[in-house]
């Protein structure tokens, strides 16, 4: 596709969404990137500015394009996303139907995005859908998560991502979101499977369990290598969506994301899922970021990480469903409890039972209050922390303001290496907030974790 055409298309789309055209700098960055070149040096030289300045402008540009195209755009995927969007755009105008924006094309153009190995005309070969959700919890209520669902759906159906890590602190809604996602896209698969690894099964046990869905018990081989290769065959032959939940149960009490002894073959299996060509997708839910996945999720590989955050204003629906009052104060409550649906559910029950549902009265207490259920919830990830991680948490819990990394040394009785590793690990457990302010990295704890650590250290 002509470079000029792609540039013009990007500019038109940005203009129709933001009312502004791409400026010269943005166009130069895009042009260099689309030609597969390292843009920063060249653009900085041509425009007589610093590379840092160009990088900041580029990061702004990727944000704008992400917003316009409804999926995360980076220098590594911008060309593919623009070309695909342009293709769909021309396709929808060619057949003269109103398909709306590129993002809305999702459902319409799925067939176009399929791999060449799939049947030419899927309508002629209707497939049978096998769903096995095992012991997945039933979802009774589900609020919002529209953009999260759309991004994940894009990754799976358009980008053909083979391995996705759905990450976030306990209670943030990973299980709920993945089940809702399954519900939305299941008809595009031959097999949809959900399994929880909460009892830490070995890889051998997990593979046997999965193979039982595809074949007779007598056909399941004994040897683990043959099991892996059989599973990969099924993932090639059928389009499967497999969610493995509670992956953190494979990790030990060492630094975050390290596999327990005896579980080291899981990362090898996950790497094969990422590297071997097939038409399926494996989603791993975890409240610790698996180390290997972090390494595998480079721009050019079909592996992504999605960190689930606050439920945002939609969390008001949780408070509404508990019939709480003082709606004007709900946003404060949601902010304090980080938009975490589970934390808010537990706290809303407490407010209903002991404060007659009056949120304003509850907020007059010293915040945040952690009910027993919430404390138990938090005790699980805390039970895994190393001594150095705990020391970092205690130090941060006692700071009134966020602190720089260097301020942690000398104050915590561990070596700088141990402290640095502990901070990294806490980040991978989503227990630490890291923000950058004027090139200074600042560390802090959210109010709920702070309160928990303080109450624990008394
Ligand atoms: N989008 C949502 N709308 C309504 N309720 C939600 C939503 N997301 C999560 N919840 C509720 O929050 C609670 C926690 O959600 P969930 O179990 O999915 O979290 P999780 O991230 O899987 O936690 P864990 O890591 O401990 O397994 C559940 O009671 C669930 O019903
Ligand atoms: Mg869960």
**Each residue of 30-85: pLDDT tens digit?**
999 888 888 888 888 888 888 888 888 888 888 888 888 877 888 888 888 888 77
Q: Which residue lies with its CA nearest to atom 27 of ligand 1? A: 170
Q: Which residue lies with its CA nearest to atom 28 of ligand 1? A: 342
Taking the domain 127-307, which CATH number applies? Answer: 3.40.50.300
What residues are paired with 282 via a beta bridge? 163, 242
Q: Which residue lies with its CA nearest to atom 26 of ligand 1? A: 170
Q: What is residue 13's three-state secondary structure?
A: helix
Q: How far is C-alpha 397 from the geometric centre of its chain's CA atoms? A: 27
Output the CA 212–ligand 1 centroid distance in Å.
Answer: 29
Cβ 388 vs Cβ 445: under 8 Å: no
The reply to whether ligand 1 has any atom less than 6 angstroms from the CB of 386 is: no
Backbone angles phi, psi at 66, to 5 degrees: -60, -40
Mutate-to-test residue for ligand 1 from 140, 168, 175, highest number of ligand atoms within 8 A of CB: 175
> What is the block-wise mean pLDDT of the chain (458 residues), using blocks of 10 residues?
82 84 89 87 85 86 85 85 73 39 29 36 59 91 93 93 95 96 93 95 95 89 90 94 96 84 91 90 95 76 92 94 94 95 96 94 89 92 91 92 86 89 93 87 93 82
The reply to whether ligand 1 has any atom less than 6 angstroms from the CB of 189 is: no
The reply to whether ligand 1 has any atom less than 6 angstroms from the CB of 171 is: yes
The residue extents of the domains of the chain are: 3-111, 127-307, 312-367, 378-457
Choose which CATH entry (1.10.10.10, 1.20.1090.10, 3.20.20.70, 2.60.120.200) describes domain 378-457. Answer: 1.10.10.10
**104: Cβ contacts below 8 Å, ≥ 6 apart:** none
Q: What is the per-residue pLDDT for 89?
A: 65
Degrees to nearest 5, angle at CA 173 with 171 and 175: 105
Q: Which atom of ligand 1 is nearest to the CA of 179?
A: 18
**Each residue of 176-187: pLDDT tens digit?**
999 999 999 999
């Amino acid at each position: 596709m002509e470079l000029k055409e792609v540039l013009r298309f990007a500019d038109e789309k940005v203009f129709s969404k933001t009312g502004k055209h791409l400026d010269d700098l943005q166009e130069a960055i895009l042009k260099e990137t689309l030609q597969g070149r390292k843009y920063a040096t060249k653009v900085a030289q041509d425009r007589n500015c610093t590379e840092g300045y160009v990088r900041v402008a580029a990061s702004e540009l990727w944000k704008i394009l992400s917003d316009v195209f409804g999926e995360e755009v980076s220098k590594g995927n911008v060309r593919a996303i623009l070309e695909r969007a342009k293709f769909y755009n021309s396709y929808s105008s060619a057949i003269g139907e109103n398909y709306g924006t590129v993002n809305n094309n999702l459902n319409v153009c799925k067939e176009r995005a399929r791999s060449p190995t799939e049947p030419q005309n899927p309508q002629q070969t209707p497939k049978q859908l096998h769903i096995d959700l095992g012991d997945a919890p039933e979802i009774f209520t589900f609020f919002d998560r529209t953009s999260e669902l759309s991004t994940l759906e894009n990754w799976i159906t358009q980008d053909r991502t083979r391995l996705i890590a759905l990450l976030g602190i306990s209670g943030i809604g990973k299980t709920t979101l993945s089940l809702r996602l399954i519900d939305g896209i299941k008809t595009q698969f031959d097999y949809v499977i959900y399994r929880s690894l909460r009892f830490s099964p070995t890889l051998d046990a997990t593979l046997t369990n999965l193979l039982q869905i595809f074949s007779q018990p007598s056909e399941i081989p004994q040897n683990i290598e043959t099991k892996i290769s059989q599973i990969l065959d099924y993932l090639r032959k059928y389009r499967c969506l497999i969610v493995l939940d509670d992956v953190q149960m494979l990790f030990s009490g060492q630094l975050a994301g390290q596999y327990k002894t005896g579980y080291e073959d899981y990362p090898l299996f996950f790497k094969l899922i990422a590297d071997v060509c097939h038409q399926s997708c494996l989603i791993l839910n975890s409240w610790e970021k698996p180390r290997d996945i972090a390494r595998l999720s480079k721009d050019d590989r079909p592996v992504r990480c999605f960190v689930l955050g606050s439920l945002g204003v939609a969390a008001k629906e949780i408070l509404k469903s508990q019939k709480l009052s003082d709606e004007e104060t709900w946003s404060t409550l949601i902010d304090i409890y980080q938009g975490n649906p589970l934390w808010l559910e537990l706290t809303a029950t407490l407010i209903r039972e002991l404060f007659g549902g009056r949120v304003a009265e509850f907020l007059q207490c010293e915040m945040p209050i952690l009910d027993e259920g919430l404390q138990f919830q938090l005790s699980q990830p805390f039970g895994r922390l190393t001594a150095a991680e705990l020391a970092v948490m205690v130090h941060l819990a006692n700071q009134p303001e966020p602190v720089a990394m260097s301020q942690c040394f000398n104050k915590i009785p561990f070596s700088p290496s141990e402290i640095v590793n502990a901070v990294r690990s806490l980040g991978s457990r989503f227990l630490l907030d890291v923000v950058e302010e004027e090139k200074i990295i600042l560390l802090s704890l959210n109010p709920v974790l702070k309160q928990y650590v303080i109450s624990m250290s008394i």
